[in-house]
Structure 1
Amino acid sequence: MSLLGAAVDGLATDVQLPDGAGPFPAVLVRTPYDRRRHRAELHGWARRGFAALAQDVRGRHASAGEWHPYENEAPDGAATARWIRRQPWSDGRLVAAGASYAAHCALTLALDTPEDARPDAVIAAVPALGIAETAREPSGVERLAARAGWWAAHGDRRDSDEEALVKALAADPGLLTHLPVTDLPARLGRDLASWPGLWRPHERDRFASLASDARVPLLAVGGHHDHFAEDTVTLWNRWGGPSARLLTGPWGHGLVAAPGPDATPAHRVSLGDLYARWARLALAGGLGHGRRGAVGLGGSAVWMPAGVEGAPYRPHLRTVHGASFTADPERPLASDGLRVPTDVTPDRCLLVSAPLPRPLDLVGPAEVRLRGTADTPAADWFARLAALTPQGGAERLAVGVVRRADPPGRAAEFGVALGGIARRLTAGTRLRVEIAGHHFPAHARNPHTGEDPVTATRLLASRRAVDPGRVELRLSVLRARPVPIDPAEEILR
Structure 2
Amino acid sequence: MNRTVRVAGLATDLCLPASPGRHPAVVLRTPYDRRRHRAELRGWAARGFAALAQDVRGRYASPGDWHPYGGHEAEDGSATLRWVRDQGWSDGRVVAAGASYGAHCALAVAAEADAVIAAVPALGLAETAREATGPERLLARAGWWWEHGDRRVPATTPLDPSALERLPLTGVLDLPGWPGLWRAHRRDQPAAPVPLLAVGGTRDPFAEDTARLWRRWPGPARLLLGPWGHRLTAEPAPEARPGHRLDLGAVYVGWARAALGGALTGRHGAVALGGSDHWHPAGHPVPATPYPFGAPGGLRLLHGAEFVADPERPVRSDTLDVPRDGVPDRCLLATPPLPRPVDLLGPAEARLDAVADTPSADWAVRVVALDPAGRAEPLAAGIVRRTRPGPFRVPLGHLARRLPAGTRLRVEVAGHHFPAHARNPHTGEDPVTATRLAASRRTVRTRGSALALPVVRGARRIDPVQEIQT
TM-score grouping bracket, smaller chain normalisation? over 0.9
- 1:174 partner SS: helix
Which residue matches 1:272? 249
Which position in structure 1 is the counterpart of 2:152?
158
309 and 395 in structure 1: CA distance in 2 versus 1, 3 angstrom threshold = farther
Paired amino acid for 1:386: V
Structure 2 Cα separation of the partners of residues 40 and 193 of structure 1 = 35
Deviations 1:317-340 (A, max 9, x none): 111011111101111111012111
Is the aligned partner of 1:184 residue 2:172? yes
Aligned amino acid, residue 16 of structure 1: C
Q: Does 2:183 align with 1:200? A: yes
- Candidates 189, 205, 225, aligned match of 1:248: 225
Q: 1:425 aligns with which of 403, 408, 425?
A: 403
* Residue 142 of structure 1: aligned partner: 136
Q: Does the residue aligned with 1:33 lie in a helix, a strand or coil? A: coil
The CA distance in 2 between the partners of 1:77 and 1:355, in whole Å, is 53
> 1:114 maps to which residue?
none
Q: 2:215 — aligned with what?
A: 237
1:309 and 1:363 in contact (8 A); partners too: no
Alpha carbons 1:325, 1:464 under 8 Å: kept: yes
In 2, distance between residues paired with 1:311 and 1:66? 50
Is the counterpart of residue 296 in structure 1 residue 254 in structure 2? Answer: no
Other structure's SS at 2:419 match: coil
Q: Which range moves more in the overlay, 309-318 or 447-456?
A: 309-318
Q: 1:469 aligns with which of 447, 452, 457?
A: 447
1:123 aligns with 2:117: yes
- Out of 331, 341, 351, the residue aligned to residue 333 of structure 2 is 351
SS at match of 1:6: strand
* Structural RMSD (CA): 1.2
Q: Equivalent of 2:346, from 364, 376, 385?
A: 364
Shift of 1:343: 2.4
Q: Which of 308, 325, 335 is the equivalent residue of 2:284?
A: 308
2:376 corresponds to: 394
Q: Which residue of 2 aligns with 1:19?
A: 18
Question: What is the rounded CA distance, in whole Å, between the counterparts of 1:168 and 1:420 in structure 2?
Answer: 30
Which one-letter code corresponds to 1:20 in the other structure? S
Shift of residue 20 of structure 1? 1.7
Partners in 2 of 1:13 and 1:353 — Cα distance? 55
State the Cα deviation string for residues 103-146 of structure 1 (Å, max 9, x = none).
010011004xxxxxx11111100001111110000111100000
TM-score (norm 2): 0.96
Written as runs of structure 1 = structure 2, the 5 A alignment for 1:315-326 is 315=291, 316-326=298-308
Distance 1:427 1:309 in 2: 24
Question: CA offset at residue 174 of structure 1?
Answer: 2.0
Query: How far apart are 1:240 and its partner, in Å?
Result: 1.2
Work out the CA distance in 2 between the residues paired with 1:376 and 1:312: 32
Cα distance in structure 2, aligned partners of 1:198 and 1:35: 25
Tell me the distance in 1 between the aligned counterparts of 2:326 and 2:148: 39
Deviates more, 1:26-35 or 1:194-203: 194-203
1:26-65 counterparts in 2 under 5 A? Answer: 26-65=25-64
Cα distance in 2, alignment partners of residues 260 and 417 from structure 1:
21
Runs of 5+ in structure 1 lacking a partner?
112-117, 187-191
Matched, 1:375 2:361: no
1:345 shift after superposition? 1.8
The answer as to whether partners of 1:294 and 1:491 remain within 8 angstroms in 2 is yes
- 2:56 & 2:13 partners in 1: Cα distance? 12
SS in structure 2 of the partner of residue 148 of structure 1: helix
Could you tell me whether the CA contact under 8 Å between 1:387 and 1:431 is conserved in 2? Answer: yes
Deviation at 1:344, TM superposition (A): 2.9
Contact 1:27–1:96 (CA under 8 A) maintained in structure 2: yes
Structure 2: distance between partners of 1:7 and 1:479: 55
Kept in 1: contact 2:163–2:173 (CA 8 A): no
Looking at structure 2, the residues matched to 282 and 247 of structure 1 have their Cα atoms a distance apart, in angstroms, of 15
**3-state SS, counterpart of residue 79 of structure 2:** helix
Equivalent position of 2:262 in the other structure: 285
Residue 132 of structure 1 is matched in structure 2 by 126
Letter in 2 for 1:64: P
Question: What is the distance in 2 between the residues matched to 1:276 and 1:337?
Answer: 40
Compute the displacement of 1:357 (Å): 1.2
2:295: which partner in 1? Answer: none
Number of residue pairs the alignment of both structures matches: 463
Task: State the one-letter code of the partner of 1:146.
Answer: A
Residue 397 of structure 1, CA deviation: 1.3
How many angstroms apart in 2 are the aligned matches of 1:391 and 1:108?
49
SS of equivalent residue, structure 2 residue 373: coil
Instruction: Say if 2:424 is the partner of 1:441.
Output: no
CA contact (8 A) 2:142 2:173 kept: no
Match in the other structure for 2:195:
217
Aligned to 1:175: 163
Which residue number corresponds to residue 189 of structure 1? Answer: none
CA contact (8 A) 1:310 1:479 kept: no
**Residues 205-226 of structure 1, C-alpha deviation per residue, up to 9 Å, x if partnerless?**
x11xx43xx2211111010011
Whether contact under 8 Å (1:308, 1:363) holds in the other structure is no
- TM-score by length of structure 1 reads 0.92
Percent same amino acid among aligned pairs?
63
